[in-house]
Structure formats: structure tokens, C-alpha cells
């Protein structure tokens, strides 16, 4: 067993190539084989979001604070509130981020593929896609 102290791992900023707006990432876990688990606390400033992307084994998002958005390709965005869990199927294009006027943070959990592959990134989410009316 081990305890990794918060101060041992500085907060990173999300790369402009894969995020719109200002996003902060705190690593929680990068599993060592045979684990393929990865967990990251992600904090989005208002209006910030990921680019379109997919995960080989899907992803689970646990909403910790604020108000967010989760959108699967071909569907309207859904609001995420504290305590909500968003579940994204394998190899499904989607984006997630903050609401336009609120901070948002989620714990993102996913596994790499059997071949070690990780997230596949696509285009940035346009303002029109981002501001589309949310479904409940
Ligand atoms: Mn995702």
C-alpha cells in the first residue's frame, strides 16, 4: 500500500490541441499492468470543454462540483450536476466540459485498450455544437 501526497503531483493544464478554454488536470491513478485503469480529476473553467474524442473501453465521469455538459455524437448535450455519473460506451465520439457560465469538475475513469491504446482525438467542439440546447 502507498499514499501519494497531493503535493507530489503538480496540476497540469489541458493542451490547446485537445481542449477549448482553460482546463486543469490532477492525476489520480495511472495503473500498472495488469491494471489498465486511469483516473484523473479534471476541472473546467466556464465554457471550457474537451475536443471530440473516444475511449477504447469507454469512460465513466463522476461529477464532483459545478455544472457540466456531456454530449455523445448524434445526441443533444446533457447537463451533469454534482453526484451524477456519466457513462460513455467504448469507441463512441463525445465531448464533456463546463456549462457556459459555471465551473465544473469531474473524476474521469477509463481503461486503455487491450493493445495499450488510449484516447482518440478529433476536431474541437464548435461554439454551435457547444451551445446546442441541452436535454434533461
Ligand atoms: Mn471522454
Rounded to 10 degrees, the C-alpha dihedral 71/73/76/82 comes to -10
pTM over 0.85: yes
CA of residue 101 to ligand 1 center, whole Å = 21
pLDDT one-digit tens code per residue, 37-78: 999 999 999 999 999 999 999 999 999 999 999 999 999 999
pLDDT one-digit tens code per residue, 3-16: 999 999 999 999 99
CA of residue 106 to ligand 1 center, whole Å = 11
pLDDT one-digit tens code per residue, 87-99: 999 999 999 999 9
List the chain domain ranges: 36-130
CA of residue 136 to ligand 1 center, whole Å = 19
> What is the spatial distance between Cα 18 and Cα 29, in angstroms, rounded to a whole number?
20
Q: How many residues does the chain have?
A: 136
Average pLDDT value for residue range 22-43 = 97
Helix H segments across the chain?
Answer: 127-130
pLDDT at 1 exceeding the cut of 80? no
CA of residue 120 to ligand 1 center, whole Å = 10
E strand or H helix that includes residue 19: strand 19-20
> What is the spatial distance between Cα 79 and Cα 41, in angstroms, rounded to a whole number?
18
CB-neighbour burial class of residue 127 (10 A; exposed 0-12, middle 13-18, buried 19+): exposed
Position 9 scores a pLDDT of 95
* CB 5 within 8 Å of CB 28: no
CA of residue 40 to ligand 1 center, whole Å = 11
pLDDT at 136 exceeding the cut of 90? no
CA of residue 58 to ligand 1 center, whole Å = 8
DSSP 8-state class, residue 129: H
CA of residue 81 to ligand 1 center, whole Å = 16
Of 1 and 90, the structure prediction assigns the larger pLDDT to 90
Assign domain 36-130 to its CATH superfamily: Jelly Rolls (2.60.120.10)
CA of residue 121 to ligand 1 center, whole Å = 10
Position 44 scores a pLDDT of 98
Residue 76: all three cell numbers together: 443533444
Amino acid at each position: 500500500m502507498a499514499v501519494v501526497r497531493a503535493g507530489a503531483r503538480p496540476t497540469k493544464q489541458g493542451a490547446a490541441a485537445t481542449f477549448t478554454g482553460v482546463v486543469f488536470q490532477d492525476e489520480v491513478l495511472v495503473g500498472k499492468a495488469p491494471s489498465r485503469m486511469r483516473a484523473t480529476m479534471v476541472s473546467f473553467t466556464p465554457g471550457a470543454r474537451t475536443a471530440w474524442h473516444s475511449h477504447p473501453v469507454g469512460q465513466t465521469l463522476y461529477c464532483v462540483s459545478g455544472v457540466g455538459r456531456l454530449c455523445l455524437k448524434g445526441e443533444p448535450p446533457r447537463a451533469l450536476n454534482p453526484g451524477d455519473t456519466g457513462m460513455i460506451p467504448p469507441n463512441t465520439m463525445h465531448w464533456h466540459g463546463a456549462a457556459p457560465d459555471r465551473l465544473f469538475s469531474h473524476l474521469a475513469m477509463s481503461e486503455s485498450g487491450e493493445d495499450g491504446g488510449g484516447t482518440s482525438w478529433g476536431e474541437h467542439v464548435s461554439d454551435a455544437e457547444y451551445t446546442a440546447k441541452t436535454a434533461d
